[in-house]
Every structure is written in structure tokens, then in C-alpha cells.
Structure 1
Amino acid sequence: MLNTAKGVLFDLDGTLLDTADDLGAALNHLLHTYGFPAVSSNEYRLVASDGVYPLLDLGFKEQLSKFDKEVLRQEFLDYYLENIAVHTTLFPGIKQLLNLIEHADIPWGIVTNKPAFLTDPLLLKFNEFTNSQSNISGDTIKERKPHPAPMLLASREIGVAAEHIWYLGDAKRDIEAGNAALMTTVAVKWGYIKPLDDCIKWQADHIISKPLDLVGISK
């Protein structure tokens, strides 16, 4: 990859950062507040990158219809924002991969569907993201993944043509967005891929199990 990529872009949750335990903590705080049983990490990790509503569905189940979803969503987000990086960590190998990319003078950035009011404070918690040259959130522009527009905006911001960029993500929407932008796409298996998801069917150019596996592949 280091010999062929001129730019690299990453998804955030489930690709660079393991944010599941902080999202799960926000859900379980809410469940405790309203007298519901907590959800295990094995359960909430499967929907960690799907947004707030799937997490609420997981926790409140059929009782969710008795609540105002917007109120619950805001309470979830308030707690999560206040505790955004208590348990969140870089996935093993990500720091080393970013160091290799930067040592090779390859510009890189982040394209996530996470809204900017959560993305921006989260990124500030990690010095490893200081050199990111583009941070595109889910509400930076009107479109979001799987639409290619956020990818193309990041391409412009890092100053590399899309066809020379590699994009890493752990969801089908990531691969669809990267493919639509004509980037080289890489599905990462360390993220929040559900057991029934067959990432081979996503039509990624590559599938890797560990971040440093990226270094050994070529286009």
C-alpha cells in the first residue's frame, strides 16, 4: 500500500477508534435511569456504529414505543458527549499504521457519519489525529455515506485525486461510498461487523484483519 497509495482515508467508529463501550455506557445509563436491565457489550457492539436509534431499540425493545424517542435520543447524546472518551481507545495497530503513513509522507484524513458536534471533541482526545488533513463528519455537507460526496470532499481537502486514495471502513456503506468515488476500498474485520454480514459481498478491493495488514498489500 505504501508504494501505491497517494492518500488514505478512514472511517472513524469501528475502524480507527473502538467507541463501543462509551456508546454502551450511555445506553446503560439511560436504561438504569428508567429502570431497565443493562445491555451486555456483546449485544451493543453489534449496533455500535449504527446510530442512536438502533441502540435505543436494543435496550428498550418493545417498550420504546411508550417513550418520546427524541427525548431519549437527546438524553443519550448529552451523557455520551460528557463522557465521550472514558473507555474509547485506538484499535490495536492503528497508531503504528498512522505512523507509517505519515513517515511515508502520505496525506490522510477521516470520513465518518458521526455528527460534527461529537466527532470534533472526540478527535481532540487523541494526539494521533493531529495530522489528519481532512475531518468530514456526517453533517459536514448534505450528503453522507454511502453517498460519495463526503469522500470526494475529503479527496479535495487532502489534495489527492480520488482514484489514488485508499479508504478503510468496517461497514457496507463505507465500501459503497469508496467504490462510488472510485477509490481503492478496504473492508476491515476488526470493527463492528455483524456475524451475519458477509463483507466479501461488499465488493471491497481488499479485506484485512489487522491494521498493519494494509502495508503488505498492493492495488
Structure 2
Amino acid sequence: MSYPYPLVIFDLDGTLVDSAADIAEALNRTLEDWQLPRVPEATVLTWIGDGVRRLVEQAFTAAHSDIDLAKVMPGFMRHYEACLLRSPRLFDGVVPALQALQARNVPLAICTNKPVAMVGPLLAHLGVQDYFAKVLGGDSLPERKPSGEPLRHIAAAFDVAPEAALMVGDSITDYRAAVDARMPVALVRYGYPRGLDLENVEAVAVMDNLQELLDL
């Protein structure tokens, strides 16, 4: 059976992988390094999606700290790497969906704002690295999501028009990137969708499980 999209591009954190607890722990260890109070995971969820520097910036702003981020980031990156494989898990339905798309010979890619060096080890740990023909991180190009440039870059690598491909994500960052790239977008309800009205957003699908991609 053919699939209506010749390329499917996935966000990572909040779409394929539940990594919130590990990201929150890395951030809280960093706050503790600077004698600042830890914050709840639920709060960290509202900051995830715009890249690691923005994540740290929001946390230190919320703590009313004016410490130079350039001094903070090396320590955060050490904690981020140390916590990367602490407890991540794939969301329900991810592997069956990837298997089914692969069986239909649909090329799959990842477009994340996570530093690209952290993506490969995470995918390998979860056993899904072989599903993806291309991976782009938040530091792979001069621009990252919500710019549409990373999505256009991936589409061009597969010789697919952005308008023909599908972006699958969970956040307003993913949505804005897809709109900027003029790429159709499908969204999941279970991720970190702060700032996104999933009931009224223009998307080809809003899903509770990635296996719903197969019904498009």
C-alpha cells in the first residue's frame, strides 16, 4: 500500500521519546551547581523545545539569576550528557508506527533542537537508530526550529518538495517550523505542547498514538 507522503520527518523529545525527567534532572543539577533551587519537572516541560541554551536561559531567568550563561552552559552540557540515558522511553505506538512506515518504503528523518551529538546515542539506546535515514540537530545548521530551514534542508536531501512531506511534532516550535516550511504537519497530544491549541490548530491530524499516522 502506498503512503500519501514520500517523506516523514519527526521531532524527537515529546514526539518519539519521553525524555522530560532526564532533561529536568540535568537542568536541576545545573541550578544546584549555582546554589539555585530545583524546579518541578512540570515547569521544565513548559521550557522544552527551543534548544538547550534557551532552556537554561528560561530556568535562570525564572530563578532571578543574572549569571552569565556562557559560564553556565559547559556545566549544563556535562549534566545533559550524564542524564541522557538515565530513564528515556519511547512513547506507546512509536515502534509499530516506524515499522509500518518503513514497510511501506517511506523514508524517515528526525528534526530536533537537541544538540546533534546527543541524538545518536539516545536513538541507539532505544534501539530505533536504523529507522532514520537522516538526523538533524539544533546545532546542525545556522537556523533551528521554529525556522522552517531545517525542514526544507531535509526535504531537499531526499529530493522531495516541502509541501509534499509531512512533519510530525508536539510543540508550537514544531508547528511554526512546519508553517514556515509550508509543510503539512501532524501533532501528538501526549508531548509538551505548551502554547498550542490542539483543538483548533491547522493540522492534517492530531493524534493520541503515532500509529494513527497509518490512517492518513
Query: What's the TM-score once normalised by structure 1's chain length?
Result: 0.85
> Conserved in 1, the CA contact under 8 Å of 2:110 and 2:134?
yes
Instruction: Name the residue aligned to 1:114.
Output: 114
Instruction: Name the residue aligned to 1:205.
Output: 204
Report how many residues are paired.
215
CA shift, 1:60, in A, is: 6.8
Instruction: Name the residue aligned to 2:98.
Output: 98
Q: Aligned letter for 1:26?
A: A
CA shift, 1:12, in A, is: 1.1
1:108-135 CA deviation, whole Å, 9 max, x = no partner?
1011122223233333323212131111
* Whole-angstrom CA distance in 2 between matches of 1:176 and 1:30: 29
CA shift, 1:59, in A, is: 6.1
Instruction: Name the residue aligned to 2:176.
Output: 176
CA shift, 1:96, in A, is: 1.1
CA shift, 1:186, in A, is: 0.9
* SS of equivalent residue, structure 1 residue 85: coil
Instruction: Name the residue aligned to 1:19.
Output: 19
- Unmatched runs of 5 consecutive residues or more in structure 2: none
- Unmatched runs of 5 consecutive residues or more in structure 1: none
1:150 aligns with 2:164: no
Q: Aligned ranges for residues 79-98 of structure 1 at < 5 Å?
A: 79-98=79-98
* SS of equivalent residue, structure 2 residue 117: helix
* Whole-angstrom CA distance in 2 between matches of 1:163 and 1:79: 39
1:60-99 CA deviation, whole Å, 9 max, x = no partner?
734412x232222221111111231211111111111101
Distance 1:2 1:168, change over 3 A: farther
RMSD: 2.4
Q: Aligned letter for 1:58?
A: A
Instruction: Name the residue aligned to 2:46.
Output: 46
1:149-198 CA deviation, whole Å, 9 max, x = no partner?
2112211333433332111011223222223333221122111112x531
Instruction: Name the residue aligned to 1:216.
Output: 215
Instruction: Name the residue aligned to 1:164.
Output: 164
Query: What's the TM-score once normalised by structure 2's chain length?
Result: 0.86
> Conserved in 1, the CA contact under 8 Å of 2:50 and 2:113?
no
Instruction: Name the residue aligned to 1:61.
Output: 62
Q: What percent of counterpart residues are identical?
A: 27
CA shift, 1:22, in A, is: 0.9
Distance 1:62 1:147, change over 3 A: closer
